[in-house]
Amino acid sequence: MLFGRITLATIPFLLLTGCGKHAPGEGIDRFALVNRHLPQCTEVEPLSPFTVGNGEFAFTVDVTGLQTFTQSYESGIPLVTQSQWGWHTIPDTAGYLREETYETFNTYGRSVPYASDADSPAGAYFRANPHRLNLGKIGFKRAGKDGAGFNESEISHIMQVLDLWEGTIKSAFTLDGHPMKVETCVHPGQDQIAVQIESPELEQASLGIGFEFPYGSAEWGKTASDWQHPSIHTSTMIDSGRNFVTIRRQMDSTCYYVEIHWNGEGSFRTLGAHRYLLEIYEKEHFEFSCRISSGLGGSSISVPATMELARQFWKEFWLSGGAVDLSGSTHPDAFELERRIVLSQYLTAIQCSGSLPPQETGLTANSWFGKFHLEMHWWHAVQFVLWGHPELLEKSLSWYEAIIPAARKKALEQGYEGVRWPKMASPDGTDSPSSVGVFLIWQQPHPIYFAELLYRSSQDRETLDRYSELVFQTAEFMASYAHWDEARGCYNLGPPLIPAQEIYPPSETMDPAFELSYWAFGLRTAQRWRERLGLERHEKWDHVINHLASLPSSNGTYQNAATALTTFRDPFHRNDHPTLLGAFGMLPNPDVDPAMMERTLEKVMSSWNWERTWGWDYPLVAMTAARVGRPDLAMEALLMEAEKNRFLNNGHNYQSERLPLYLPGNGGLLTAIAMMAAGWDGGPDLYAPGFPADGGWKVKFEGLKPLP
């Protein structure tokens, strides 16, 4: 199950002990809260498909509850089926070497290799491989010899609801003149969909369910599918019976299995290469399940049992952990903010809670070939701990432990100690070639932050023992990476370095504000872990902490970097992420002057190029505003009318046509809201200190944890 340690039996205990701070005498009607925000569709809307999933597997559907009109959604959010294990590599017939992507950069007299030649043939190959798969397309077809599809003009009277409380998509529509009802869900612990189909005219409708399978796509794009090369992969029916069939999928070294079961009269047959049809002969009711897995074994669960497990699971999810109720507010945007919060809870649970760090588009679409960006892991998953579900973050920390050898090899290759975490990573921990990504460092302290949050949640020795190597090896690299400047008597970060604000050249950039603050936080936290374990403080780490370069500032405000001291004089510097605010927003930092940071915040709000930002920048700004005592600006940032701060009908944070969903924006919103409601270490002793006390906001919350 997705929740690991949490079971239905623990819910009463959680509700009694895990509710956190809330208004005296007031609780939250969680059923009413969730059901205020069930998204609905009444037409084919390319940006509003709904998804069901469990963190390891997800299935995205159109208004039929299946993937019937895939072409209609290509301009928006594609209809794909994805998993954490479903990856594919095109054979390397050219015999590329990763060393072919290396370029050396002068690092204080040392030549250090970076895989920065992404435009070379080898670079292009290693960026695209491995890539995440679309495991298959499942949609309504016409019964008959050809299994023809339907046109969008043949569907009408659409009423579709994503029932968040039950984790089920409920679709009603008329297809080719026949009224239909479809319910779709995913098993909470298996990679299996379950579908119920009802119609008083089901037999007359002459329907079938089509199953189609593509090759893996090595093109940058959303669909993760290559339908143009049917001859280079195989789909083979290896077992069948009266009401089941098993298909073996083979593409190069990738193999997986599709097990289809149905209840009711039906017939399964092959239409052509990678195309199958399950014809429906029932009069009123038909149901089927489809389990997709990397290996045979286990058993398919019946459709009614799967739907009941899904209902129990999602009820448990909503009744445990955190909740925020804004229904008593008079502010005109309160309902919309509450909608974004509820839908973000659902989306991050099904997309970001798996055994691998999530890609920016989760399990709904491909972005950078399906690979995950580790600097974004913070924005996806920190909120799970703050919202009372630490196990949903913890699942992916096992992956960091597994790739320690690869991360240690990378650090050693570049002349550093400890482990250097990748940026755009494959499941085996290999970094992808990039002219930008290989120079980023702000993902390095993340495992320390994650481990610290888990310890704050558990307060047990087991957590310290479990993650001490992760913390200490990360800190070893951070201390080794910082360069001692004898003349200035301080440690510098970079060059080469590209900061989180990805607009600066690596060979020229030094001491960005956010990274300096995160280095201090990471090493201070690692020292606390040593003390908790009864170990002596690490002398080198203390020396770095005590002599780290000061945060860059000029004219009474903080600046992007020591090499970018004209942040508020040159518009070029005010593009991309305003991460100089993260030095005292995401992070606590006793060395920050709050008054100077407030002035910096005001400058950012009034002069930043918001068209060139990203979805997590708005919660980033809100967190800094809260910490410096400006809840008015915190709310202004969260509700800013900007293209990258747009939340679609299905709750997804839209960025652009090529990136129509962006889960760091959803996770970031939840992190900011938790902080604004539950507070932060050293914050004011006020109820919901990050919300404006102007009478427009009445905030009820429970189950939330404060930010460090």
Residue range 126-132: mean pLDDT, rounded: 98
Q: Give the pLDDT band (50/70/90) at residue 14.
A: very low
Per-residue pLDDT reduced to its tens digit, 632-648: 999 999 999 999 999 99
Q: Give whole-number Cα distances, 700 to 17, 48, 242, 680, in Å.
A: 17, 29, 54, 17
Condensed to tens digits (0 to 9), the pLDDT of residues 394-430 reads 999 999 999 999 999 999 999 999 999 999 999 999 9
Q: Are 181 and 197 in contact (CB under 8 A)?
A: yes
Task: For residue 130, say if its preceding peptide bond is cis, omega within 30 degrees of 0.
Answer: yes
- Residue 23 in this model has a pLDDT that exceeds 70: no
Domains of the chain plus CATH, in order, are 36-90+129-318 (2.70.98.50), 372-648 (1.50.10.10)
Tokens 């047990």, residue? 460
Q: Per the structure block, which two tokens stand in for 187?
A: 């098993």
Per DSSP, the three-state class of 475 is helix
**pLDDT for the residue numbered 55:** 97
Of 126-130, 219-223, 366-370, 416-420, give the lowest mean pLDDT range: 219-223
Rounded Cα gap, residues 38 and 77, in angstroms: 19
Interacting residues of 16 by C-beta distance below 8 A, sequence separation 6+:
none
- Give residue 405's pLDDT: 97
Per the listing, tokens 């240690």 go with 408
The two structure tokens encoding residue 367 = 């972005």
Average pLDDT over residues 575-585: 97
Query: For position 473, what pLDDT does the model report?
Result: 98
Query: What average pLDDT does the segment 37-59 reach?
Result: 98
Q: What angle do CA 197, 203, 204 make, to 5 degrees?
A: 120
Report the distance separating Cα 295 and Cα 130, nearest Å: 19
Q: What is the pLDDT of residue 490?
A: 98
Provide the CA 297 distance to its chain's centre, in angstroms.
Answer: 29
Full-model pTM: 0.95
pLDDT tens column, 655-675: 999 999 999 999 999 999 999
pLDDT tops 60 at residue 345: yes
Q: Which SS3 state, helix, strand or coil, does residue 204 take?
A: helix
Q: Helices (H) and strands (E) in the chain — how many of each? A: 17, 30
CA distances to 77, 135, 137, 367, 528 from 214, in Å: 18, 8, 8, 18, 51
pLDDT > 90: what percent of the chain?
95
What gap in Å lies between CA 127 and CA 263, rounded to an integer? 43
301-341 per-position pLDDT tens digit: 999 999 999 999 999 999 999 999 999 999 999 999 999 99
Mean pLDDT of 2-15: 31
Q: In Å, what is the CA distance from 478 to each residue of 81, 84, 524?
A: 39, 30, 11
* Tokens 């410096």 found at: 628
Per-residue model confidence (pLDDT) at position 299: 78
**Mean residue pLDDT across the chain:** 95
For position 26, what pLDDT does the model report?
Answer: 56
Mean per-residue pLDDT, 41-51: 98
When pLDDT is averaged across residues 521-537 and rounded to a whole number, the result is 98
**pLDDT interval class at 2 (50, 70, 90):** very low
pLDDT of residue 300: 78
Judge whether 493 and 511 are in contact, CB under 8 Å: yes
Is it the case that residue 704 has pLDDT exceeding 90? yes
The band of 145, judged by pLDDT with boundaries at 50, 70 and 90, is confident
d(CA 616, CA 637): 11
